[in-house]
Structure 1
Amino acid sequence: MADLYMGQLQAAKQAKRLVIIVFILLFSVVLWAKFAKLEEVIIGQGTVIPVQRVQTIENLDGGILKEVLVHEGQLVEVGDPLLLIDETRFAAAFAESSQERESLLARRNRLLTELKSVELDDKSSFGATIQRLEIPRKGVSPEVYRQAYNTYTSRLTQLESQLQQRTQSLLQQEQASNEQLANISALKQSLKLTSREVELTQSAVDAGAVAEMELVKLQRDEIAMKGELNQATALLQQLRAAKSQVLEERKAIVFDYLADTQNQLDEVSNELAKISQSSKALEDRLLKAQVRAPVRGTVKNIVSRSIGSVIDPGEVMMEIVPQNDQLLIDTKVQPKDIGFIRVGMPAKVKFTAYDFVIYGGLEGEVTYISADAQYLEDGTAYYQAFIKTTVSQIAQQPIIPGMQTQVDIITGKKTVLDYWLKPLLRAKANAMREP
């Protein structure tokens, strides 16, 4: 009897212990469910599309196809050569334009140096300061520079010669003027003495000491001497006027030289500006003869053309599907879920081509949500959303436009308990209603 009682007591204790353990486990599970959070996601189906539009490769000027440097499906980087256009006609025109530009540049440098080399200076014996300077050599070949320098020295030498002639004439005028001044001084002195002699003779004639004939002779000499003095004075004025004229001529030579040089410089500068523009255009055409990739991407749809065939201006030769450091996923979201999605929400992109367990997915962000629903051919409604990823590869595996994806848009987080209670809350909300 005692053994039976003890067995029942032991069984009761074990049952009580089991109830306590179950209660603790249930409490622990509920407590965990209360605080453990899971991501709340909206699932959409998407397709990888290029971030940039497909780039069409064309040549605006056209020409003769020389060589195709890429093949279908080749990955190219920005600036990689794609095809070559025969540049012969552009190269010849560019070479001719470059030579003309070089010649104009040398002329402009020479004319600028000439303007700096000549300066009007009345204190100089030539009436101008002339110094030979170095002409800039940048952008000019030695042969063209030598021709420009020879012209430069020749023009300065010619200017110096003209000024030298005028200066020599000035020296002659100066010498003649000095001689005439000396002659005038002598005539004035002689006239003074003659006039004194006439006065004395007049007194002697009045006293009857000298014959009147002697006085008349002296008066005739005085009149003649005054005439010579007037002629000498007039000649001096002519010499001085001639000297002033030569000085003006010398100034005019310098002014004309500088004005002519400036006019030439203006013309050359205008021509140089025009030829520089045309030369730049030809250089651009020459550079475009080698068509290069504008973006990083994959080559496709190469037009089959034989080498030497004529390419029309603007003709599309191939296309490049851009590949960026980011991907854009065109995602379809069901209308019942669109109210919970906002731009900026995080998302996880899973690619059907790569096992998610092995390769994982890519992190992304919602960048666009369509304002209105769109429809498939079968009439199914959906909203369009764009998801931009942070990288363009998954575990070093390539991702190309057209790949299918599953997009999990993370709208928030809920506890496990919220998920458990959701059916009950929904049932409660639908209970006690008239069907």
Structure 2
Amino acid sequence: MNPIRLIHLKDLRYKHEIFLQKPPVVLTVFIYIIGSLMLFAFLYCIFGKMEEVVYAKGQVRPVQNISLVKNIIAGEIVQINYLPGQKIEKGVELVKIDDSIYSARKEALQAYYDEINKKIEGLKNLIKSYHADKNLISKTDSSTYARFRVYVNEKEILTKRYNMVKKLWLEALELPATAIQQAQLRELKYKADMAELDLTTYKNKFINSLLSELDNFLIEKEKIYSQLKDANLSLKNTCIRSPISGYVQEISSLNKGDYINVGQSILNIVPDGTDNYKIEIRVPAKDAGKIMEKMKIKYRFTAFPYHEFGGGTGEVVNIEPDSFVARDGSVYFAVTGTLDKNVLLDKEKKEYFVKPGFEIDARIILREQSILWHFLKTMDLVW
């Protein structure tokens, strides 16, 4: 039996015994694991997908726009019928303004309007009576009745005068030529013609005066009618009513006895539409170039942690054609998106309702691409 020889590892460098050396099993397993992970990572980069997104801020808004209630006329408040946050119905009286001035103006205009109508009716009756050559006016309208009587009396006087002068002229014509001079005949003829002219002139002047007065009163009637409509509208606007159903959001703190000016904003009415919301997103102008309608959007609510409540989804439904400038000077495009839910659930399945005004972080998905392509694009190796 040959004795055992101990040979140092260095001495095996050029000997065949080194090929008989085997690596540890742990090392082999480790190498396989690393290789598998690298292969998996490579395949994941090739076949895995990631989203190219645009990040933006937004806000939850009701689908129906918030209604701004403004005062249309100036006046003193005599009654306030709302409280901040109160739910109100459409048409409910919110504020009552002192209407004494507007009511007095309306009454004065109405009285004048009625008086003009009465005069117009009287003029029409005078014209009818003129053409009928008889008094068709009721004695209850004393002034118009008396006016036509004056016309009739004056016309009768002029008619009698004309008939008398004409009769004298006709009688003179029957006389022998030696009984009357031609100059006297011409004078009688002239007087008859002048009497007839006076009668015709008076009648024409009377009817023309009636027609002119009627036209003027009709014009005045239209003018007063327009003023009366404005007065009625002003009187109606002393009562400020809710244009829609919803919740009161106070803008101006008002009290009974306060004086409010024309066009003063009083409050907002937030629509009572908890079933449907939209998202108004402010996309920076530098990121808005690729955004198109029907692109998918993912939302995260800042009021609800995403890891506990999750988020929402939607799609782009509208992109404003022009940009806006914010107060801080930044330029953005207004994008409107839908929202798929109005209730969020926590891990205990407790419901929390989405409310108008909630802020959100939006991720607008431009497209899906492979992870490898994304890395290459990040390193500017592809365009």
The answer for the alignment partner of 1:155 in structure 2 is 147
Q: 1:408 to 1:370 in 2, by over 3 A?
A: farther
Shift of 1:83: 0.8
The TM-score with structure 2 as length reference comes to: 0.63
Give the alignment partner of residue 409 of structure 1, picking from 358, 364, 370.
Answer: 364
| Partner amino acid, structure 2, of 1:411 | L
Say which SS state the counterpart of residue 67 (structure 1) adopts: strand
Pair member with larger Rg: 1
Q: How many angstroms apart in 2 are the aligned matches of 1:92 and 1:373?
A: 48
Kept in 2, the 8 Å contact 1:72–1:302? The answer is no
Kept in 1, the 8 Å contact 2:129–2:135? The answer is yes
The answer for the alignment partner of 1:254 in structure 2 is 203
Matches within 5 A, 1:229-378: 229-231=179-181, 234-265=183-214, 267-269=216-218, 271-272=220-221, 274-293=223-242, 298-301=247-250, 303=252, 305-307=254-256, 309-314=257-262, 316=264, 318-320=266-268, 323=271, 327-331=278-282, 338=287, 341-342=290-291, 344=293, 346-348=295-297, 350=299, 352=301, 361-365=313-317, 367-368=319-320
- Please list every run of 5 or more consecutive structure 2 residues that lacks an aligned counterpart in the other structure: 1-42, 344-351
Q: How many angstroms apart in 1 are the aligned matches of 2:254 and 2:213?
A: 52
Residues 197-233 of structure 1: CA deviation (Å, up to 9, x unaligned): xxxxxxxxxxxxxxxxxxxxxxxxxxxxx4xx135x5
Kept in 2, the 8 Å contact 1:117–1:130? The answer is yes
Q: 1:361 to 1:133 in 2, by over 3 A?
A: farther
The answer for the alignment partner of 1:82 in structure 2 is 94
Kept in 2, the 8 Å contact 1:66–1:85? The answer is yes
Residues 306-342 of structure 1: CA deviation (Å, up to 9, x unaligned): 54x142434857320554987452346697xx27633
Q: How many angstroms apart in 2 are the aligned matches of 1:429 and 1:89?
A: 75
Which stretch of the first structure deviates more once superposed, 339-348 or 166-175?
A: 339-348
Residues 81-100 of structure 1: CA deviation (Å, up to 9, x unaligned): 32111212321221111111
Shift of 1:361: 3.9
| Partner amino acid, structure 2, of 1:405 | I
Q: 1:176 to 1:382 in 2, by over 3 A?
A: closer
Say which SS state the counterpart of residue 230 (structure 1) adopts: coil
- Please list every run of 5 or more consecutive structure 1 residues that lacks an aligned counterpart in the other structure: 1-29, 120-128, 135-144, 189-225, 431-435
Shift of 1:177: 3.5
Aligned length: 324
| Partner amino acid, structure 1, of 2:358 | M
The TM-score with structure 1 as length reference comes to: 0.57
Q: How many angstroms apart in 2 are the aligned matches of 1:372 and 1:263?
A: 59
Q: CA RMSD in A?
A: 4.9
Shift of 1:103: 0.9
Which stretch of the first structure deviates more once superposed, 322-331 or 311-320?
A: 322-331
Shift of 1:257: 1.0
Q: How many angstroms apart in 1 are the aligned matches of 2:145 and 2:240?
A: 47
| Partner amino acid, structure 1, of 2:280 | I
Matches within 5 A, 1:128-143: 130=133
Bigger helix share = 1
Q: Does 1:95 align with 2:100?
A: no
Calculate percent identity across the aligned residue pairs.
16
Q: How many angstroms apart in 2 are the aligned matches of 1:391 and 1:296?
A: 22
Residues 53-106 of structure 1: CA deviation (Å, up to 9, x unaligned): 87363354122x222233212455775532111212321221111111221233
Q: How many angstroms apart in 2 are the aligned matches of 1:37 and 1:112?
A: 89
The answer for the alignment partner of 1:180 in structure 2 is 172
Q: Does 1:171 align with 2:163?
A: yes
